[in-house]
Amino acid sequence: MADKAKIVIIGAGTGGTIVANKLNKKLKRKAEITVIDPEFKHIYQPGYLFQIVGRETEKGLIRDGTKLLPKKSKKVRAAVDRVDLEKQVVYTNDNQEIPYDYLIIASGSRLVPQKLEWWNDKIHQFYTPQGAAKVYDHLKDMTEGTIVISIASMPYKCPPAPLEAALLIDDYLRRKKIRDKFNIVFTSPINRAFSIETVNTIVQPLMEDRGIDVRTFFNVDEVDTEEKVLYSLEGEEIDYDMLIMIPPHEAQPFIEKSGIPHEEGGWVEVDRETLKVKNYDNVYAIGDTTNLPISKAGSTAHNQAPIIAKNILASIKNSNKVYKYDGHVQCFFITEIGKSLFIDFNYTNPPYPGKPSRRYWWFKLAFKELYYRFVAKGIV
């Protein structure tokens, strides 16, 4: 290894940005950090939920990603095409070759609605700023009808988001005093509304109390967007006026192309504690791109970043110390405009969120600024 370790980070989203800043603080002059991203357009994705009820704009969510990264880090504006894990080189789509001593894969997940032959743009989604804006444009002009919120397949990022969307839309319509003109239907592929049982015992009754029709064991088969019918594999049919669906997710194509150890969907196989990619001591993955059986969430990446930074520092110092990620995830789960739950758990301890509270709502509301000022910059 040269006097300075070469650390290359693929992706400047939540995970890539936080880990770059954590590394920069720990390593000072011991390493050269390079971050590769096609756009450096940093999006605060939790804000999409506020967008769908007209409380946030696309512009308000996006910041210049280069300004969140350490000043001295190299920023390569390109997409990674492939990685040669044996030669330790990253190749970009504009033919740059970037060698590394340590590699961190932080390329998140991508939406792949095109995998469903029946998907078209009459189906709404709120997992992009443009999609979320369209949801609000449509919703604000509706005066009656059936709104269905559905999940195309697992896994998808931020597991609470579809439930929060149903609860927020319910609240939005109540505030407009037209809730009684609408049916809101929420479909879940499993036997309950939310995957984590201890949270579901609070959330599902709350949804039902608010008149949201929760349909469990509803695995999406097909949508007829002309007739406006959603069909399940279990044989159910739901007529709708507006369908909001979470599209299928996959990891980025360069992972499969490069032979990086992965599961179906390209999710990178990592050690659940060290976050090292299977069979590779100098390659890590963070955030949505991993195959870990926990939430694909910004807070997951936030909790993983210091572990990766400390493990790389230990390796550079030839120390045998190993730092371990315990599966910690936390999030605010909006139940209405003005109230939120707080969910906090790890691999061994499930969450016990208590009751929805105003305090957590204010936290959720304030979090965008806290995120951009402190979290993304690796300060907390």
Ligand X SMILES: Cc1cc2nc3c(=O)[nH]c(=O)nc-3n(C[C@H](O)[C@H](O)[C@H](O)COP(=O)(O)OP(=O)(O)OC[C@H]3O[C@@H](n4cnc5c(N)ncnc54)[C@H](O)[C@@H]3O)c2cc1C
Give contact residues for ligand X (rule: CB under 6 A).
10-16, 36-39, 45-46, 48-49, 79-80, 106-108, 126-127, 157-158, 161, 252, 254, 287-289, 296-299, 301, 331-332
Query: Residue 31 or 246: which CB sits closer to ligand X?
Result: 246
Q: Which amino acid is at 258?
A: S
Closest-CA residue to 280 (of 20, 12, 84, 9): 84
Element (H, E) at 37: strand 31-37
| Residue 377: CB minimum distance to ligand X, A | 15
* Minimal distance, residue 181 CB to ligand X, in Å: 26
Nearest distance from C-beta of residue 295 to ligand X, angstroms: 7
- CA atoms within a 13 Å half-sphere pointing along the CA-CB vector of 100: 28
CB-based burial, 242-261: b 16+ in 10 Å, e otherwise: bbbbbbbbbbbbbbeebebb
By C-beta, is 172 or 254 nearer to ligand X?
254
Residue with tokens 């592929």: 189
**Least distance CB 120 / ligand X (angstroms):** 21
Q: How many other CB atoms sit within 10 Å of the CB of residue 293?
A: 9
Say if residue 152 is exposed, middle or buried (CB neighbours under 10 Å; 0-12, 13-18, 19+).
buried
| Backbone φ/ψ region at 338: left (φ over 0), alpha (ψ -120 to 50), beta | left
Closest CB to ligand X among residues 5, 36: 36
Instruction: Tell me the torsion sign for CA atoms 290, 18, 335, 178.
Output: negative
Q: Which is nearer to ligand X, 98 or 316 (CB)?
A: 98
Measured at CB, which residue is nearest to ligand X?
13
Measured from the CB of residue 322, what is the shortest distance to ligand X in angstroms?
23
Smallest separation (angstroms) from ligand X to the CB of 33: 15
Nearer to ligand X, 238 or 246 (CB): 246
Cis ω before 162 (30° cut-off from 0): no
**Which C-beta is closer to ligand X: that of 168 or that of 185?**
168
